[in-house]
Amino acid sequence: MKRRSFIKTTALTGLAMGLGACRRESKTHILTLSFDDGFKKSFYRIAEIHEQFSLQACLNIIASAHIPEWNSPNEYHDPVAGNFDDWNALKERGHEIMPHSWAHNNLAELPFEEAAALIDRCLDYFESHLHGFITAEAIYNFAYNASTPELEQYALKRVRAVRTGGWDILGDTMANPFPSSSGPFRLGCWSYGPDNADAWVEEEVNKFLNTSGGWLILNLHGLDEEGWGPLSSRYMTGLLKRLVVIEHLNILPAGEVIKRYIV
């Protein structure tokens, strides 16, 4: 995963004012805050914060993180994971639940056959355990945002879209184009860590809002002290409070973007 150095922002209040400075009637900008891993405490809190503003959270789950055999790949994945009772409950509340690998392996480092089998195992588990999950409409979110063209094409035989590292193909704007067909889609995203990500998100959102438009996907993880590059819950609440009043901006989970914008 591409990891950026920590951005020290000395004028967050000035940046905050910029978030609401420009308003337009049309929705020229889409923002997806795409949360990975499935930490139980954080994901319930993420859902609650979104609900305060009548928004859907974008939640991506490691399929096996709740089972006894789970081996955390590093300390950033040690927080208690939710199980599929939790994910079904949050889906029932209107939030988007999507797959984020079987066991958080870096598939780009594995032999193709082994990596492909792990993609299938993840998707098959979701089909069996997440109510109403339709593989052909899903987004597969690669662990570490690490993929290869071969693995992307393999996954896209089963799912509508894959989310992976965006820095290789999308240039300096960091924005995906709006969906313009029925897919399949390769969605590029950006992430930050291991430190607190508040200042990075603030800066990237402001830069995005000063562009002519597009679809920005920021890959995040837990809240407060949980996960790699966590957001603070207080900052996230304030951010969404400021963003929801911007008339030319939609804040949507990735799957919902595809549903609403395909032609």
User: pLDDT tens string for the chain (263 positions)?
Assistant: 433 332 233 233 333 334 433 333 378 999 999 999 999 999 999 999 999 999 999 999 999 999 998 888 899 899 999 999 999 999 999 999 999 999 999 999 999 999 999 999 999 999 999 999 999 999 999 999 999 999 999 999 999 999 999 854 445 567 888 887 777 889 999 999 999 999 999 999 999 999 888 999 999 999 999 999 999 999 999 999 999 999 999 999 999 999 988 75
DSSP, collapsed to helix, strand or coil, labels residue 231 as: strand
Give the burial string for 135-146 (b: 16+ CB within 10 Å, else e). Answer: eeebbbbbbbbb
Continuous segment of H or E residues that includes residue 60: strand 58-61
Question: Cα dist. 94→98, 108, 135, 149, 243 in Å?
Answer: 13, 32, 18, 32, 20
Is-contact 167 176, C-beta < 8 A? Answer: no
Q: Can you give the pLDDT at residue 189? A: 94
DSSP, collapsed to helix, strand or coil, labels residue 183 as: coil
H-state helical runs in the chain: 12-19, 40-52, 84-92, 112-129, 149-156, 198-209, 233-243, 254-261
Packing angle between helix 84-92 and helix 40-52, nearest 10 degrees?
A: 0
Q: Locate tokens 């395909």: which residue?
A: 262
Q: Can you give the pLDDT at residue 173? A: 63
Q: What is the residue type of 1?
A: M
Residue 2 tokens, joined: 């591409």
Q: Output the CATH code of domain 25-261.
A: 3.20.20.370
DSSP, collapsed to helix, strand or coil, labels residue 115 as: helix
List CB contacts of 138: < 8 A, sequence separation 6 or more.
Answer: 98, 99, 123, 126, 158, 159, 160, 161, 255
Q: Can you give the pLDDT at residue 107? A: 98
DSSP, collapsed to helix, strand or coil, labels residue 190 as: strand
pTM exceeds cut of 0.85: yes
**Angstrom distance (rounded) from CA 57 to CA 23:** 24
DSSP, collapsed to helix, strand or coil, labels residue 230 as: coil
